[in-house]
Structures are given as structure tokens and as C-alpha cells.
Structure 1
Amino acid sequence: MSKETRQAALHRALRAKAGQPVLFGDLVRAVWGDEAPARPLPALRTLVRRLRRSVDDEIVTDASGYRLVVRAPGPAQLPADLPDFVGREDELTALSTSTSAVLAITGPPGVGKTALAVKLAHRIRDRFPDGQLHVDLRGFAVGPAVGLDQALGRFLRALGVPPANVPPGRDEQIALYRSKLRGRKVLVLLDNATELSPLVPGVEGCTAIVTSRNELPGQTGLAVLADDEAGALLDRMGVDGSPDDRAELIRLCAHLPLALRIAGAHLADRHLPDYLDELRGDGRLDALEIEGDAAVRAAFALSHKALPDDARHLFGLLSVHPGADFDVEDTAALADLSIEDAARLLDVLVGAGLVQRAEEQFVLHDLIRLFASEQAGEEAQQALHRLLSYYTATASQAAEILVPAMTQLQRPALAVPGRRFATAVQARGWLDAKRAVLVAAVQVAPHPFACHLADALRGYLNNNGYRPEQRVVLAAGLASARSAGDRAGETAMLNGTGQLHWRLGAFAEALRFYDAAVELAASDLMKGTLLSNAGLVKRDMGDFAGALADLERARRLSRSHPALHVNVVLNLGTVHGVRAELRKAAAHFEEAWRLAERHASPGSVAAAREGLGVALIELGRYEEARPHLESALAGYREVGRSKPNLLVNLADLTAAAGRDEEARTWALRCLELAQETGDTRVQVEALIRLGDQGPAVALAEAINYPLGRRRAQLVLARTDPGLAEELLRDVRDSGDLLLESRALLALAEATADPDRAREALDTAKAREQAGVVAEVEAFLAAQPPANGGSTSS
């Protein structure tokens, strides 16, 4: 058989039982039949490695075989097709038959660039079976544009990259974006771009449609509609009248699709001659300096004049909304309306052609938003404050549920109370749906809203890996606080920025921001929070003495702040754990458990019991550990948190108790959940538990996870003296005290050296690692006596 045929046979065998493990032996027979190679498993591994590079489906290694996970459908982000689109057939034909990798559509505002791009995208979408990506970059909008980092983050997430795995550097993001597109056929629609950016894939098989008011290479420039196209649009909208009246309407609307659509909506219940009389007035000549705006302004003015007073009032206020779209609840907060009135008035504006509906969301065209801003009047600032109050209050309440241990700024007096949530799922759902709008809101918000909204969002953004958005909101919040001389706000933003750098692995930078924040902090609560965070950074740097010093200071400062106090005690437990001071670690986790139960904090209770369970496993107290881990699992589910690493701990526990099949089940569940959540570190741990050390080492190296790499190498080192020596040096250099005894045992097994084993035994006993002690004693008991077992007389 050729390599290609073997790969195809392997792929078929895996797909036949997609989602289920297929035994190694069954796969060998499916590929080679009765002519299996001399070393079938290494040959199968090589073939699987080649297959992984050639197919998009994921191939997961299980303990006894391989399992194929069919790749999920690609992204489908195109806006809905336009039912009343007419004309542009020459442009559509040319663009849809073009072989260019970039289809650029340019022209003045209101000429129909977006409508043509959406129609084109739907016409050619079948050529791109791997999905379609879309972003409105808002390059010419009144509000903040969508930054390149934000757009890249959105696209990477849509392509299956978990937020936590989006790299921090722009070059790395671009490389990952293109690698995800390589070998796929994906259509990318970039609306309202100012230039051809790295969002254009530049990858064979992918095409970008780009709209812009600026000139672009290879562009298709749009002129206004021809007479027959404009007439067809009027026909589609049901605009009746004499040929002369219709021709005059087209002329007065400057042949612009946007102006014609607004006029058509306005004519639904009016006679064309009356409308033309108004359109001929001097008001039509009150033009902006943008080409074609006179026609749009005239159509807008007449539609606006015909609105009921309350709809006209709302229309002006909508211009202050900072996002690309808004919903009924946003509108109610913005205009101080009931939900029912907001919905009713939005329907009026949609009917007038001034607002577009996109399912549950509503959109203002950039030009219409600009015109609306002229009608907002003195209440515009009050309306923005009401909306920001609603967003800040709602985001703060969501943060209290999702990240209760996070120290928030003292909230200012807010004009709108905000939405409340009954569950963590509801809170996260609102933040997920509003993320882009909230990030835009922070960038345009005056003080103190920018600072407080950024503070409310930072825990959610941090925990879910939205690094580009986190960077944007913290920078805006910090600038706002500094310009206003708000020391408390500046402290909070420095704290958030330190946390961002910590998550990015820039430990020295993180400590710099924390130190600056400590100098500004005025309250024990804030100082304790900062010292606790700095202690964790020092823990991760291996500075355990510094970590304990900071955390002990934080503990003293936090005694009158229960949520922070629980968190600090938990953090102390983790530091003692990595120092292999297991009894001290267990004592801290027990204390945190009691405190969290006293203050009704289920998430912290779960975290404390998880830490206690892990410490008890290391101490060899397996039966005591089990109820803690099971309770932690239930607790995390109660608060809606996904914790795949807990399943690894349960796998370790059941394996230590000799229940290998149950351990394998836990590890498989862990691997699946870690793949769903994108937690690659936990994927490494699950692969180790499943016995697939080679892929675990490769994955750990790929994500720069040295602890996982060392744990995977422990098994490989047992038969490789050179690797065992190197691993022991690595463990000692890193200060990983918990792994030292295991590394010594691996070296003893690789070299059959009882002296190394006794060193491992002494180390494990000193650190009370009962499980390692038992393993070393079993190894020593199996060694032959010295001198072949003879005795002298």
C-alpha cells in the first residue's frame, strides 16, 4: 500500500467510529491487514502523525487507541442577505467571477458598498465550505473603530482558538490566524476598512471582500445607481407615480441607494407629488461636505419631520450609543423608557427606514447616525450617562456573581440600576453578548464611567482570555483616572494591568505595575488585594520567600474583608503546596474552606476543597481526599465554572487507589472538557494520565508549559538514563520541590541504582509524600541483594 492509501484507510477506520476510541490493534488491522509491520505501534503512531497534518478532524490519543473528533462546522458570520437588493449586476458578475484573493469595493458613503458586499458574499459563499468571517471595522464611524487586535481575536475565536490561547503579540496572532486558515476555504468580509490590513488572509483558497471609502488596490469603485437600477429599487419598494415624478425623485435623491431607501420608507403612506414638493425645498441644499450627503440629508429631514414627537426624540438620542448595534434594553436605558415603549418606538424608526433591524439587534448607518447626532440636543450627554450607568451597574452585578473574590472600586451613584442575574450562566451570557459594545463604551465614556466600567469588566475578560479587549479597556480606564486625578481609579487600573501582564507571563512587568499601585493604594482592602496578587506572581517566578512575605502582609490587611481574606488564605495554601510543605498547605485550605462556608461563598468553598483534596493525595490520604474533590466538582458546577483540571486530580486519586479503569474514565472526560474549553495545560495533564507521554511533551513544549513537560518526561525517563539525569537537573534548577523525589526515583529506575532510590526515599519522607514513599519502597524491595545474595561466614 502507498502512504496515501494507508492514511485513507486509517482515516476511514477512525471516522467509522467517530467520537469513540478505536483500539490500536483494530487500527493496525484496518491499515495493514495481515501484513502488519514488525513494530506496529510505532508505525501506527507515525501514520497518525502524518494524518493529523493532512486532515482537519482532530485525532485524540486514548489509553488503548485513537479517537477521531470530527471538526465542527466553520464559522457562519455573514449578515443576512438583502431581500430588496437590486442592480449592480455588472459589478456582481465581475466580482463573483474574479480570481483575485481580495475583492475591494470602494465608493462614497451611502452608495451601497456594504449592500453589494453582502450580496456578493452570499452569491459566492458556496465556494467556501469552511466558513465565512465578518467584521464591521467601523473605520469611518462616529464611535471607536474596531482595532486590529480585537478583530484578530474575534476571528481566532470563531476559528476554534479558545480566548486563553490567543497569543499576546500581534505578529503571533497574525501567524496563528493564517495557520488556522491554511488548507481551508474561508470567505472573509471586512466592512468599512481604512486599508488592506493583515486581516486579509493572504492564504491560498481564502478570499477577502473589503469595503472602504478610501481607494484600495484593485478596487471596484461604485458610482451612484443608474436610472434603471434606481427605478428597479423604487419598484421593489412599491413606490408608485408618474415616470416624471419617479425620475425627479431619483434625481433629488442623487441616485443614492441609502437616500432612495429612506424616501421609499417615507412614501409608504404618502403621495409622491406631495413628497417631491417638500424634497425640492431649500433644506435639501443644507449639505455636509461629503459627496452625496445633500440627498441623504433631504430624505432624512423629511422622514424625521414626519415622525411622532417621541420617536423623533428617541432617534436623536440613539446617536450617542457607542456600539455598532443596540437592543431594546439598551434603548430603554438610554432614553429613560419602559421596555414596551422602547420596542414600540424602534418599530416606528425601522418602518421609517432610519433604523435597520438585525434579528434582536438594531443598527444605524454611519451617515444616519451622524445626522441623528445633530438632533440629539442638550439631552445627549444625559442619555449617554444613563446608558453608561446601566452598563456599569449591570457589569458590576455580573462580576459579583462570576468573580466574587475580585475587589471592585466603590461604585459611584448611578442613574440607572442595571440588570440583575439569577445565575452565573445568565451573567456570563449577558457579558458574552455585550462584550464588543462594552469595550467600545469604555473607550468613549467620560470619567468616572470609563474607569468603573473597565474595573467591572476586567475579571471577566481576564478569566476568559480576552486579552486584546482587556488591554483596550484597561488603557482607557487608566487614562481616564489619571486625567481626572482619581487615585483610587488609577490604583484599580494599575492592578488590572498588572494582572494582564501576569497572565501573559511578563512577571517583571506585572510586579512593576503592582508596586506602583501599592504606592497609590489608600485602603487596606486595595493594598491587601495588590499584595496577594504580587505574591502569586512571585510564586510563579519561584520566589517562594517573597511570595509568602507578600501574602502574609495581605492576610493581616484583609481580616476585615471576608472575600479577600478567603482568597489570600487559599493563595497561601498554593505557595506552601509548591514548596512541598504539604501539611501547611492542607491547613491553609482547611481554614479557607471554613471561612468561605461562613461567608456563603460557594465558588471559594469549591476552590478550598479542591486544594485540600490535592494536598491529601500528595500526603497519601486517598480516602480522605475523595469527598473533597467530589464536593469541589459539585460546587464548581453550581456556580457555572468549568474546571477540567479537577478531573485530572480525580484521575490521579482513583489511579493511586488502584482503580485504573475509573482513572482512565476520569482522564478521558478531562481531555474532552479541556479540549472544549481550550485549556491546553490540562490537556497535557490528561494525556499524561492516559499514558500518551510523547504527545504530552510535544504539546507542553508548544505552549511553553515546563511543569507539564517535566511531569510527562518522568515516565519516559524511567527507561532513559540520559533523560533522567537531565530531568533531575531541570527539576532542581526550577525549584519544583514536589517533583524532586519523583525525578530521583525515575533516575534510580533508569540506572537500577538503589542509592538514588534511597535518596528519593529520604526526600519523599522529608516532604511527607506518602505515595512516592510507597513507590520507592516497592522499587527497593524488588532489587536483588548485594553480591548476588551470597553470605559470608
Structure 2
Amino acid sequence: MRIEALRRALAATPGQPVSFDDLIAAVWPGDRPANPRQALRNLVQRLRATEQVITEPSGYRLVVRGPGPRHLPADLPDFVGRDEEIARALASEAPVLAITGPPGVGKTSLAVHVAHRLSERFPDGQLHVNLRAFAEGAALTPDQALHRFLRALGAEDIPVEVGAQSELFRRMTADRAVLVVIDNATRELLGPLLPHGPRCRVIVTSRTDLSEHEQVRLAVFEEDEAQELLARMRITGSSEDKAELVRLCAHLPLALRIAAANVASGHLSDYLADLRGDDRLDALEIEGDAAVNATFDLSYRAQPVVAQRLFRLLGLIPGQDFGVEAATALLGGGDAGEPLRQLVDANLVQHDGDRYSLHDLLRMYALRLAEEPGARTRLIDYYLFNAEAAARKANPDFARMLVPQVPGDPPRHEFETQADAIAWFDSERGNIVAAIPHAGAAPAAWLLADMLRAYFYFQSYRVDWFVAARAGLAAAVEAGDVLAQAVMHGSLGLAHFSVSRLTDAIAEFTRARELLRQHPDDRVLVSLLINSGLAYQQLGRLSDAVEVFTAARELQPDNTAVAFNLGGAYLDLGPLSESLANVRHAIELSEKQGLPHVRLYALDALSEVLEYNGRFDLVREVIAEADEVRRGLPPELAHPLGGVALGASAVLAQGRPGEALESWLKALKIVQDANNQREEADLLDTIGDAHRALGELDKAFRAHNEGLALSVRNGYLRGEAENLAGLAADHHAAGDLEEALKLAVRARERAEAGELRVRLVRVLIITAAIQRSLGDHDTADKTAQEAHQLAEETECHLWDHELRQVATAR
């Protein structure tokens, strides 16, 4: 396939650019397409679905793929038995190997053990997920599982629909060697999670029969396997006593491990007497819950009182694993570290690094014990208390609901840095999302969802975002809390906005604003108005954007985000004096409020507005002020793109295309590394203009075509109009006047559809120049006059030199 040939050619010198001509020769060694550069660009766009490919001045560069994820749980250090099953699993070449059997029989232990044995065959990563299909509560959904897989493999722009996720997962695994371990699955959950590549393997565990796949059915331990486990765990006693222990534990590995952990600190004969109890297990043979529960009972009763209490409470953990702080919160007093250690020693709790977990059977057993009133509330309060602190540290600028004082003194985490806060969210995200439905109609349900909103937005956990916000909304509806309903609709709107479902976003924002009429709250309303305005901007409804931003300004005149975004809307709509006024107001507010990073963004915006306003004398002065602020900020707030690209449009307009191109190529690398495809489309347009000014038409065509493709794929109206205009100018320079005019007409249609009046000035100038070259001087005069009038109305004077040329040419 052509795409494989392209991948091989790029991978031959990983991290180094490969020239366009060399790539064309590698992909098409024989007959070449009519337009090989365009065909290569199209192929690169397809390859970017699964690989990071960077555009360089001379060609393309493949970013070297880092080491694959290593997500397997720890292997049991004393794993025993299953020799025949292990041999079958290691020899299997089936794409999916199912390990099935009854609960407690050791399916997960075998799957993890085999996966570790196989891991070296899968250098591109080992993925693991526990779907919890047979546990209490809701199973993990396929879209949540796929999101985790895709993030682990390096995907950044992850869709939220399970079908699109599954397709992306198949593409990303098509040429990789990835091992996927899926624990506790059902047939229905498994389907979307299967990779596609011939070098990928799946190991799945299930209590249900999966006969459509190669299957290893596990039974209970054979006598010799059970005895080997007891020997490994240093259980001494007569052969008769050990045989009876195996029988009373129903030959189940889980029950044997728990029993052995208790026997290790006592006498086997005494333990057997306790296990026989009141003849509950008379005539017990191989299987049955009674054996498992009896073993659990003895182990549980053997624990100190605090450890017993903690074990009962651990069944309330909503997610897959937990930290010691969550366990401490459940206790409500005293550190949980020592009782946790005791439970680990008794094999009632599993330990991996700094996280703990319960086997599904043990979780169910714990839940059947008497529940302690208030424990779940303490756990949820712990999540809420720390989620609020983490949200403030990670994203202090985000508006969020006020959290009332949490009763008691829940364990607290110290978030000294933004990275600390994000790391805690990463660890507890699954638990917090799963906890929201358990909060019922209490405020904690929607407050937890709201605390996660900024984290979801900036870390792109969109699937969990929808789950959390919808659960929070359901709780708010049940409670009849109108303000909380409005906030949750707003959160859903922002989630839709983040995946470019702009119409859905507007609908959610509108519903939220309607609810606020019943329960006015200016703080929440301003946030909704800002987000509505951003959605309107991307939809090309700039007048609507200005309207809602203006309404927000009336409510909060000192809101820097309102001033900044209103300036951005006027930058495209005009007049630019309105943009200047609002951006300058944002600068003043940021200075008064001590927000240097906001001031930096506003200064960068001001230099751009001044460029379009044609006030080149002031641009350099503003850039110098911005650079001074930039030097005093940490890297994550320093907006490096502004420090590289600003002023380049003025430089190009002043006739120095080489200097402008150098700046834009540096900026292009920054946005490509950040995977910001909208800014990449903008830069490709300006890069194309610089190449055309230098007489490098092939490079101009390439840049504008790539910018147009990116814009169309991302639904980016402004980028589409700009790159169409650039292509029209390229074709004009190449003498292809008919095609140039067609492209110019399309550019005008797109600019007018998006109310891009400032950008339309350039489109009209290019159109008039093409019409002039076609000899249609009357139409060119009218178009030039239209451009002049629009430039006056919008106060856009960036292209005054070109406008004068086209207006006077004959």
C-alpha cells in the first residue's frame, strides 16, 4: 500500500526530514500521479491519523514514537500451577485468547502471568483494563475503556462516539505490536475493544463462555497444584490436614490464598476446626459459594477490629483501585495504613505500588456485611474536598461552583504545583466519576462534576466528562436544584464545544441560560455567555458572538476573559477600533488584578490587532513589552507562539518575506508539536503567502493546500476562507486565471458565511487582481472599490499597498 511505503520511507531516518522528491520516489517508484506533490500531501494527511508527521521546509519528518505503555498489573510473585494452560496460551497464535471459568478460579492471575511472559513480544505496549462486568455497580463502558487505550497510545484528538473511537483504535494498532488484556468482560463489551493489527494480541477473562474465540477454560486447582501453592506459602502440617484444607476451600485459588495467609500465623489443625464450623461445609465437594464465603469469614474474623471495620467499608470504593487516603476517609478517624497492611497480609486486599484493590468476590462479600451509615458520605466528601483544592491549583482562572465547608477533617493532599494537582486527578478520575451517581441527589454529585470540568477540558478526557456531567445533571433534576441544572447544562455545552459539536453546545448553553431566568446568578451567566460566544465564533456567527460577549460585559465590566474575547470577535468582524478598545481594556484589567499571564495574551492580541489596523510603527513596541512579560512567566504560561510569530504579518506587508517566513516556520513547529491544527492552518496560509512573495510557487501551493485540508477536516471556517484566498493568489501568480477566480469566489463565499469582514478585505483585493488580469477591468474596479469601502468600515489597513496597486492598475 502507498501509505505503508510512505511510513517506511519516513521511518528509514526517524526524526530527520525526508525531502519531498525522495518520498515521491519511494511511494511511486514507477508511474507517478499527475500532481505528485498534491498526492503526497493527501497521503501524509491520512498518515497523520496514526502517526505524528511534521512539515519541514524541505519535506516531512516522522516524530519518533516513544516506548509503548506498560499498563499490566503486577504479576503474583508466588504464582503456581496451570502449566498446561500456560503452555497453551504461550503457543497460541489466535488474535483473541479467552480465559473463562467460574469466579475465584484465578482467571485474572493467569491472564496477567501470561501477559508478563509475552510482554517482550509486544514492544509497542501492553494495555490493561478491568471492565468489572460482574462486579457490583455499573461496568466500565467501552467508550471509557477505549479512551484510556487511545490516550495511552498517544492519541490526542479522541472522538467521543464509541464507533469512531473503535475505528481510531484499529488504525492506531494496525502496524503496531500491542498486547491488550481485558479483564472481566462480556461478549457485548468486548467487541469495540479489539485491535486490528496482525501483530496485536488480546487476552480476555470472563465468567461467560466465549466460544467464538480460542478459549482456555479454567477449573479449580488440581490437588498437586493446590498443594504446591500451600508449599509456596509455607503451610506446614500433616498431609491429611493439608488435603482437608484444599477440600474445604473447594480447590479455589482465591480461597486457598486467603486461608493460607491465616494459617501462616497459626496452627493448621486449629484453623481447620474453625473452618469446619457448625457442619456448614459437610459433604462439600468441588464448587460452591459456601466454601469461598467460609474462607472469607474466617480471614475477616481473624483481623483486628479496625481492620475488620475497614474491610467492611472498602466495598464502598466506587472505582477499580484506591489510595490509603481514601481508606482513611472511610474510617473517619485514624490512619488506614496499618489496617490496610494487615488486610494485604491476609490476602483480603491486593497491593500494587501505592494503590490498593479488592477482588470482585471480596468486594461483593464486603458489601454484604453490615454497612456503616455515613461512610459513603465521608468518602465522597474526601473526593470533593481534594477535587476542589486540585481544581484551584490546576486551573485557577476557571469559574466553578462554590463548595460548602466539608464536615470533619478529611485527608488532604498537598498540591504544591499544577502537576501535583493533575497527577491526583489522573489517579482518582475513575473513582470520582464513578462516585457521582452514588451521591444521589446530594449537592456533592453536581459539585464533583463541576470540579472536574477544567481538568476534563484541558486534559481532553471527554468521555468521562459526558458521563460525569450527565450524572450530575440527573442528580440536580432529582433534587430540583435549578442553578445546579444550569451549571450541568453549561458543562455539557462546553463538553460538546470541546469536540466541535457546536450546534449541540449552543443548545445546551441556551437551555442553561433559560434555567437561570428562574434562578438568576450573574457569575454563572457570564461564564455561559462567554462559552456561547466562543461557540458562535467557531460557527461563523460573529454578530451573535459580539451580542453575548457584550451582554457579559454589561454584567461584569471587569472580567478580563470577556474583554479579551470581545476583542477577538471584533478582530474578524470589525471595526478594529472596537477590537483595540477591548484588548486594551483586558490589558488594564490584568494589570490591576495581578494576572501577568492574561496580560501577556492580551499584549500578543494587541500586536495582532495593530498589524491588521496597519499601525506597524506600534507593533514592535508592543511585542517588546510582551516579550518582557513572557520572560518572567513559567514555560507553561509563556505562550511561546506569540514570541515567535507576532509581527511577521507586518514584516511581510513591508516587503520582507524571507524574514516573515523564518518566523512562521519556527511557529509552525510549535503548533504542530502541540497538535493545534487550527493555528497550524492559519500559519500554513501565511507561510504560503511568504513563499509566493519569494517566487516559490510550489511551496506556496503546498502550504495552502495543507492549510485548506486541515481547515476542512476541523470545520474551521476562517482557515478555509484564508487558505482558499491564498490558493487563488497562487494560481493567479502561476497564470492559471480561471482556476484562480473559482477559488477566489469560493473564498468570498466562505468569508461571507462566517461574517469574516476583516478577512474579506484580503479576499476582495485578490479577486480584483485576478479580474484585472482577465481583462475585466470594470468588474475589477467595482471589486476594488468594494474592498476599499470594507477596509474603511472595518479599519483594516494591513493590505493597503496591495489595494492601491490593484485599484490603479490597468
Instruction: Give yes or no for TM over 0.5.
Output: yes
Q: 2:523 matched to 1:528?
A: no
**Secondary structure of 1:198's match?**
helix
Structure 2 partner of 1:69: 63
From 579, 586, 602, the counterpart of 1:585: 579
> What is the deviation of 1:114?
0.5
- Kindly state the Cα deviation for residue 46 of structure 1 after the two structures are TM-superposed: 5.2
- Give the Å deviation of 1:8: 9.4
Q: Which moves more between the two structures, 587-596 or 412-421? A: 412-421
Structure 2: 5+ residue runs without aligned partners?
A: 689-702, 732-739, 774-779
**Cα distance between partner residues in 2 of 1:9 and 1:545:** 49
Q: 1:385 aligns with which of 377, 381, 387?
A: 377
SS at match of 1:469: helix
**Contact 2:24/2:36 (<8 A) preserved:** no
SS at match of 1:263: helix
Distance, in Å, in 1 between the alignment partners of 2:637 and 2:206 is 42
Q: Provide the rounded CA distance (Å) in 1 between the counterparts of 2:674 and 2:3.
A: 33
CA distance in 2 between partners of 1:640 and 1:91 (Å): 54
Match of 1:281 in 2: 277
Letter in 2 for 1:413: Q
Q: What is the CA deviation profile of residues 431-461 of structure 1, one whole-angstrom value per residue up to 9, with x for unaligned ones?
A: 2232222211223223121111011112221
Mapping for residues 93-112 of structure 1, pairs under 5 Å: 93-112=87-106
Which range moves more in the overlay, 150-159 or 711-720?
A: 711-720
Q: Aligned with 1:190: secondary structure?
A: strand
Which amino acid in the other structure matches residue 169 of structure 2?
A: Y
In the alignment, residue 253 of structure 1 is paired with which amino acid?
C
Give the corresponding residue for 1:722: 742
Match of residue 790 from structure 1: none
| Contact 2:24–2:40 (8 Å) recurs in 1 | no
- 1:157-196 map, 5 Å: 157-162=151-156, 165-195=157-187, 196=190
Mean Cα displacement is larger for which, 388-397 or 565-574? 565-574
Runs of at least 5 residues in structure 1 that lack an aligned partner in the other structure: 787-793
- How far is the alpha carbon of 1:751 from its aligned partner? 4.5
- Does the CA contact (< 8 Å) of 1:544 and 1:579 recur in 2? yes
Distance 1:432 1:672, change over 3 A: farther
Per-residue CA distance 1:283-302 (angstroms, 9 max, x = gap): 865999x9633222222222
Query: Higher mean Cα deviation, 674-683 or 206-215?
Result: 674-683
- Find out whether 1:89 has 2:89 as its counterpart: no
1:352 Cα shift? 1.4
2-side partners of 1:157 and 1:548: how far apart? 36
- Cα deviation for residue 471 of structure 1 reads 0.7
1:684 corresponds, among 663, 673, 681, to 681
Q: Which residue of 1 aligns with 2:776?
A: none
1:709-757 CA-partner distances (Å, limit 9, x unpaired): 3322332211233222322232223322122111123324444446345
CA distance in 2, matches of 1:481, 1:256: 45
Distance in 1 (CA, whole Å) between partners of 2:5 and 2:369 is 70
Counterpart residue identity of residue 354, structure 1: L
Q: Give the superposition deviation at 1:384.
A: 1.9
Equivalents in 2 of 1:112, 1:636: separation in Å?
A: 53
CA–CA separation in structure 1 for the residues paired with 2:282 and 2:453: 45
Q: 1:191 to 1:24 in 2, by over 3 A?
A: closer
SS of the equivalent of 1:584 reads helix
Q: Is the 8 A contact 1:511 1:537 kept in 2?
A: yes
What one-letter code is carried by the residue in structure 2 that aligns with 1:548?
Answer: V
1:731 aligns with 2:764: no
Contact in 2 for aligned 1:684/1:696 (Cα 8 Å): yes
Residue of structure 1 equivalent to 2:148: 154
Q: 1:137 to 1:350 in 2, by over 3 A?
A: same
* Separation in structure 2 between the aligned mates of residue 301 and residue 143 of structure 1, nearest angstrom: 23
1:702 alignment counterpart: 713
Output the amino acid matched with 2:671: A
The one-letter code sitting in structure 2 at the alignment partner of 1:619 is N
Q: 1:617 aligns with which of 611, 620, 628?
A: 611
Residues 1:555 and 2:550 are matched in the alignment = no
Deviation (angstroms), 1:652? 4.7
Query: Is 1:295 equivalent to 2:306 in the alignment?
Result: no
Partner letter of residue 180 of structure 1? M
Once the 2 structures are TM-superposed, how far is the Cα of residue 568 of structure 1 from its aligned partner?
2.2
Look up the SS of the partner of 2:229 in the other structure: helix
- Which stretch shows the higher mean deviation, 693-702 or 644-653? 644-653
- Contact between 1:603 and 1:635, CA under 8 Å: does it hold in 2? no
Change (3 A) 1:143 1:678: farther
Aligned-residue offset at 1:648: 4.8
Gap change, CA 1:588 and 1:313, over 3 Å in 2? same
Please identify, of 481-490 and 420-429, the stretch whose mean Cα deviation from structure 2 is larger: 420-429
Please report the TM-score for the alignment, with normalisation by the length of structure 2. 0.86
Deviations 1:611-644 (A, max 9, x none): 3232223223321441355367557746658775
Distance 1:357 1:284, change over 3 A: farther
Total equivalences in the alignment = 764
Q: Which residue of 1 aligns with 2:350?
A: 356
TM-score (norm 1): 0.87
Tell me, yes or no, if structure 1 residue 113 matches structure 2 residue 107: yes
The equivalent of 2:695 in structure 1 is: none
2-structure distance, mates of 1:136, 1:3: 38
Does the 8 A contact of 1:511 with 1:534 survive in 2? yes
- 1:768 aligned to 2:795? yes
C-alpha distance in structure 2 between counterparts of 1:268 and 1:545, whole Å: 76
Residue 226 of structure 1: how far off its partner (Å)? 0.7
For 1:343 and 1:654, locate their aligned partners in 2 and report how far apart those are by CA, in whole Å. 63
Greater mean alpha carbon deviation, residues 323-332 or residues 568-577: 568-577
- In the other structure, the counterpart of 1:439 is 433
C-alpha contact (below 8 Å) 1:539/1:547 kept by paired residues = yes
Equivalent residues of 2:757, 2:790 under 8 A apart? no
Q: Are the counterparts in 2 of residues 616 and 625 from structure 1 also a CA contact under 8 Å?
A: no
Q: For residues 308 and 538 of structure 2, what CA distance do their matches in structure 1 show? A: 58
> How much has 1:319 moved relative to structure 2?
1.7
Distance 1:80 1:361, change over 3 A: same
**Is residue 2:414 matched to residue 1:414?**
no
2:722/2:747 contact within 8 Å kept? no
- Which letter maps to 1:408? R
**CA RMSD between the two structures:** 3.5
Tell me whether 514-523 or 636-645 shows the greater mean CA deviation.
636-645
Which amino acid in structure 2 is aligned with residue 729 of structure 1? E
